[in-house]
Amino acid sequence: MRIHKAGIMPITVILILVLLILAIPNIIQQEQNLLHYILYGAATLFMVYVVRFFRRPDRSINSDPEAVLCAADGTVVAIEKVMEKEYFNAEKIQVSVFMSIFNVHVNWYPVDGEVVFMKHHEGYHYPAYTPKASLENEMTTTVIRMEDGKEIMVRQIAGIMARRIVSNACEGKNVKQGEEIGIIKFGSRVDLLLPLDMDVKVDLHQKVRGRRDVIATC
């Protein structure tokens, strides 16, 4: 299991804090007892989950120029038509994938193309599975223009625990389907906004995997 470089600093900081907390009962009572061992076990499990959260899977890609691949691991929580006003100012199909703290939080480009728009928005940190998260939470918006001129929007949305979105997107950059777009630290959500003529291939509440599952076809 590889660890994402964005996780090195938070893992280090959290480990130091955990060790400082564990030092307190040892200062109070140096002789080891059941409470000490319970705390050691709980701390170990906690650190395993923290490290696991920042895992970067070495996953093969099911590349398909006619498909929009899933950009994140998680659960489909919304499939709906929405009026997108930030860039398109037009109606789009929105497919939203919620990532729990147990999912991989690396995100990937769903299609080949050129990044024609990228913007980070400050905002709130409502639970990422709620509808208003797509409108009011902190987010990063990226639009990729495909070779045929169609444009796909990827929104990385922070959640109630997610406090930082890491994105490597920049305008003018040519990207490949399945390349990493970034990572969202702790429970969050990714929205894909698609042209109305695309055929959605997933269902509500379906579990999906980034780089593997097809969200829609052209």
Cα–Cα distance list, 192 to 89, 91, 144, 198 (Å)? 15, 13, 11, 12
- Dihedral sign, CA of 106, 112, 115, 121? negative
Is 167 marked active-site?
no
* C-alpha 139: how far from chain center: 11
Specify burial of residue 203 (Cβ count, 10 A radius: 0-12, 13-18, 19+): exposed
Helices (H), the chain: 8-28, 34-53, 133-136
Cα–Cα distance list, 88 to 2, 17, 93, 117, 153 (Å)? 37, 45, 12, 11, 9
Tokens of 75: 């659960």
Specify burial of residue 23 (Cβ count, 10 A radius: 0-12, 13-18, 19+): exposed
96, 134, 167, 188: the catalytic one is 188
Tokens of 142: 């990226």
| CA 98 – CA 105 distance, rounded (Å) | 10
Q: Which residues are catalytic?
A: 188
